[in-house]
Amino acid sequence: MASMSSHGSGTWTVTQNKAFEKALAVYDQDTPDRWLNVAKAVGGKTAEEVKRHYALLVEDVKFIESGQVPFPYRTSGGGNQG
């Protein structure tokens, strides 16, 4: 299975990932120079890097939606286990 961390898209900070998510909401697929705009919003990444990051995200979502990724179960901690 693919994942963003295993494909050499570089290291992404939490701040960069948040900026990436927000930029995707602003620059949709019909936006001219979408990936360049997203890269500028993220900072420290090229248009190719953000495009690859997006492709990996789409791939991960497909795996999750197809049931190939098991639902995470909590193995520790409190909470209501009813």
- Residue 8 clears pLDDT 70, i.e. is over it: no
Taken in order 20, 26, 58, 65, the sign of the CA dihedral is positive
For residue range 15-54, list pLDDT tens digits in order.
Answer: 999 999 999 999 999 999 999 999 999 999 999 999 999 9
- Give 28's DSSP letter: -
CATH topology of domain 14-66: Arc Repressor Mutant, subunit A (1.10.10)
Pick from 66, 70, 43, 13: nearest CA to 4: 13
Domains of the chain, residue spans:
14-66
Burial 50-70 (b: 16+ CB within 10 A, else e): bbbbbebbeeeeeeeeeeeee
Q: What is the pLDDT of residue 7?
A: 44
C-alpha span between 82 and 80 (Å, rounded): 6
What residue type is 11 in one-letter code? T
What is the value of pTM for the model shown? 0.71
